[in-house]
């Protein structure tokens, strides 16, 4: 007989809190780094032509059409590509697969706030290495005993890019653990570590369709790395759920990634608007690290971030704010369309007066 409370045996966790998705329209939504433009018209075409009767069938568990399209885009073998339900799913499988030792996993103290949640839910020990006062990573922090390393490049929510040399230095110094570079924002002007996956077996690069490919709602993420890494991830995936990608998702993703011209055009529009936004924010008295992503992490010289956040929300402009040590005077502002950004700057002029 077991007389204790069943609640003693529950896996208790503090969940990740995503940015708010307001339930009403007329909002300028600059709080979750979504792309302000629709996906490629070739995705629309897939939806128009989709035969609903196909929903009777289970999807291809290997998502081959999507995997092959991604492999072709990056010039790698299909056996080097893992796909999942957004990069959150891919990262979660990667944590479960590769961070499997008693030694702590290392990641920055200011970074994507899902990492500590996955570590906690999977009971993985971890240490958060402090960024320096300019929000930069010190590579020497990642040269101690560890059970794995992960950080985004560019980092979130700071937008800072670390150099490929620094990344290679960290990967090379850690042959005993897997190093994951989370490149959710890499397409907005940073250099990808993909080329290094040829040279280093222990490097996994994770990217997503949610930002540069305008498909956050379709939930497509992928990892590229050495064939052995991908095989280990698939073994874990197929031990949990074989059918993670819906047939429609597979088709839309494959169509989307083939439209390179549209991708380049929309990414360029966003980076141009980002550079314009940096100028406008500086004129308004904000400072920020140089962003290579589709967001700017800004702090005002005299008005507290929490006040600006609330005042913007009252005007139906949503940005992201964390009441967390070291970053509680910063706002993370996603780059929207030029028109949306001009509305933001108009509102800020009023608020800061
Ligand atoms: N990594 C980073 C650094 C992110 O900011 C996000 C977006 N929240 C993700 C991964 C996950 O994005 P998705 O699951 O939409 O691919």
Residues with CB under 6 A from ligand 1: 86-88, 112, 152, 156, 182, 184, 208, 210, 216, 221
Distance 283 CA to ligand 1 centre (A): 30
Distance 4 CA to ligand 1 centre (A): 39
CA–CA gap between residue 234 and residue 247 (Å, rounded): 18
Residue with tokens 């799913």: 89
Give the dihedral sign, CA 267/268/269/275: positive
CB atoms within 10 A of CB 85: 18
Residue with tokens 């780094």: 33
Give the dihedral sign, CA 128/150/333/220: negative
CA–CA gap between residue 334 and residue 36 (Å, rounded): 9
Contact 298, 69 (CB under 8 A): no
Contact 271, 154 (CB under 8 A): no
| 83-139 pLDDT per residue, tens | 999 999 999 999 999 999 999 999 999 999 999 999 999 999 999 999 999 999 999
The structural architecture, per CATH, of the domain 41-258 is 3-Layer(aba) Sandwich (3.40)
Question: How far, in Å, are 22, 26, 75, 112, 204 from residue 29 at the CA level?
Answer: 9, 9, 35, 19, 32
Q: What are phi and psi of 313, to 5 degrees?
A: -65, -35
Whether domain 17-39+261-352 has CATH 3.40.50.970? no
Does residue 23 have a pLDDT over 90?
no
Nearest atom in ligand 1 to the alpha carbon of residue 87 is 16
What mean pLDDT is reported for the chain? Answer: 97
Work out the average pLDDT over 1-11.
91
Nearest atom in ligand 1 to the alpha carbon of residue 112 is 3
| 117 token code pair | 């949640």
| 302 token code pair | 């005299």
Distance 112 CA to ligand 1 centre (A): 8
Which pLDDT band holds residue 3 (cuts at 50, 70, 90)? confident
Please confirm whether the linkage preceding 154 is cis (ω < 30° from 0).
yes
| 232-275 pLDDT per residue, tens | 999 999 999 999 999 999 999 999 999 999 999 999 999 999 99
Look at residues 27, 289, 271, 274 and name the one whose alpha carbon lies nearest to residue 157.
289
HEC string of the chain equals CCCCCHHHHCCCCCCCCCCCCCCCCCCEECCCCCCCCCCCHHHHHHHHHCCHHHHHCCCCCCCHHHHHHHHHHHCCCHHHEEEECHHHHHHHHHHHHHCCCCCCEEEECCCCCCHHHHHHHCCCCEEEECCCCCCCCCHHHHCCCCCEEEEECCCCCCCCCCCHHHHHHHHHCCCCCCEEEECCCHHHCCCCCHHHHHCCCCEEEEEECCCCCCCHHHCCEEEEECHHHHHHHHHHHCCCCCCCCCHHHHHHHHHHHHCHHHHHHHHHHHHHHHHHHHHHHHHCCEECCCCCCCEEEEEECCCCHHHHHHHHHHCCEECEECCCCCCCCCEEEECCCHHHHHHHHHHHHHHHC
> What percent of the chain is predicted at pLDDT more than 90?
96
Nearest atom in ligand 1 to the alpha carbon of residue 88 is 14
Nearest CA to ligand 1 atom 1: 184
Distance 196 CA to ligand 1 centre (A): 22
Distance 8 CA to ligand 1 centre (A): 32
Q: What are phi and psi of 96, to 5 degrees?
A: -65, -35
Q: Where in the chain is the domain with CATH 3.40.640.10?
A: 41-258
Work out the average pLDDT over 227-231.
98
Distance 128 CA to ligand 1 centre (A): 19
Q: Where in the chain is the domain with CATH 3.90.1150.10?
A: 17-39+261-352
| 282-303 pLDDT per residue, tens | 999 999 999 999 999 999 999 9
Residue with tokens 């990262």: 91
CA–CA gap between residue 252 and residue 40 (Å, rounded): 9
Residue among 21, 154, 156 whose CB has most ligand 1 atoms within 8 A, to mutate: 156
Distance 184 CA to ligand 1 centre (A): 6
Phi-psi region of 58 (alpha: psi -120 to 50; beta: other; left: phi over 0): beta
CA–CA gap between residue 58 and residue 241 (Å, rounded): 12
pLDDT at position 25 is 83
């Amino acid at each position: 007989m077991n007389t204790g409370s069943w609640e003693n045996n529950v896996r208790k966790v503090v969940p990740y809190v995503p940015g708010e998705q307001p339930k009403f329209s007329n909002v300028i939504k600059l709080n979750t780094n979504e792309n302000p433009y629709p996906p490629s018209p070739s995705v629309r075409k897939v939806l128009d032509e989709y035969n609903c009767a196909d929903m009777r069938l289970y999807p291809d568990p290997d998502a081959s059409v999507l995997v092959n399209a991604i492999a072709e885009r990056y010039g790698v073998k299909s056996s080097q590509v893992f796909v999942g339900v957004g990069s959150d799913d891919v990262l979660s499988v990667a944590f479960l697969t590769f961070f499997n030792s008693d030694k702590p996993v290392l990641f920055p103290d200011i970074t994507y706030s899902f990492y500590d949640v996955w570590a906690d839910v999977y009971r993985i020990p971890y240490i958060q290495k402090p960024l320096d006062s300019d929000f930069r990573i010190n590579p020497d922090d990642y040269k101690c005993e560890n059970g794995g390393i992960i950080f985004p490049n560019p980092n979130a929510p700071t937008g800072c890019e670390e150099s490929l040399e620094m990344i290679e230095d960290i990967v090379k110094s850690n042959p005993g653990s897997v190093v994951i570079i989370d490149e959710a924002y890499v397409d907005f002007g940073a250099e990808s570590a993909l080329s290094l996956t040829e040279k280093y077996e222990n490097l996994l690069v994770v990217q997503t369709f949610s930002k540069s490919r305008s498909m956050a709602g379709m939930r497509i993420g992928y990892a590229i790395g050495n064939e052995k890494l991908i095989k280990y991830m698939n073994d874990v995936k197929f031990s949990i759920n074989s059918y993670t990608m819906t047939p429609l998702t597979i088709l839309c993703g494959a169509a989307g990634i083939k439209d390179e011209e549209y991708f380049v055009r929309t990414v360029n529009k966003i980076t141009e608007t980002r550079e314009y936004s940096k100028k406008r924010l500086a004129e308004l008295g904000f400072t920020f690290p140089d962003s290579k992503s589709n967001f700017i992490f800004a702090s005002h010289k005299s008005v507290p971030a929490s006040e600006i956040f609330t005042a913007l929300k009252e005007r139906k402009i949503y940005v992201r704010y964390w009441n967390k040590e070291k970053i509680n005077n910063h706002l993370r502002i996603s780059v929207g369309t030029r028109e949306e950004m001009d509305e933001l700057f108009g509102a800020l002029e009023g608020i800061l007066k």
